[in-house]
Structure 1
């Protein structure tokens, strides 16, 4: 990974769940078992998941049907509290690997395999925020999605 983006502490597994729990509690919310399960289900996927995908995983985990609606509400809460990010063009969610970090992400989404890689480039997102401010906008959060073919898929095509 080269380029001009900084790396924060990327969390994984238990460590990530712990970071998520702290971030959620810091936001004044409770870390319930259900929320923990939804976060775990989201975090173990390597590509963005829909609320239905997550509901299915949580249902398996709990051994009983969990409605996509309740999962959707939790995912919304995670997006608001920065524990997850929404990939708008795919109507899907991805766990934030540095929960509570207020970065505006740029998602690079592969049209071939569907993986979303996020990239923090403050110069780009700051420029977008400035442009929006000069247009009179407030509470700006850039949502940037770039679609293309990832390096792995491109390699596969060139074999």
Structure 2
């Protein structure tokens, strides 16, 4: 994140949404297809190796579909509502629930890859895959944190003028 969460709390929704679209949505749309391709190559080349992250490509494909659906809902429904200064509690609750699902998907990546631990003598493709996955996992977590702790929080609550009941 180029700014701290505290600094983003002072930005207007339009600026924050533009940053999320450029920094996270666009990046995830690049990272996941690359990761899927690398995972397929690793799984094919190292099938039978006990360290091979079998099922990773399939998991990443499912995750990409879920994340793409989530981002489209944000782009087409939620973000326009937030830019118009309304607080759509129902859609936000749906997105927060999906964020929980994304975190579980990230944890499954960590499980399949033994926390991105490369076996001794890992090939360049395997190394590139785990480097990319480490970046992806951190980016998705940063993305979720920025939305959950800043964008999806009512302005009154961020300003300290809310008892918390407006959520």
TM-score, normalised by the number of residues in structure 1: 0.30
Flag the structure with higher strand content. Answer: 1
TM-score, normalised by the number of residues in structure 2: 0.29
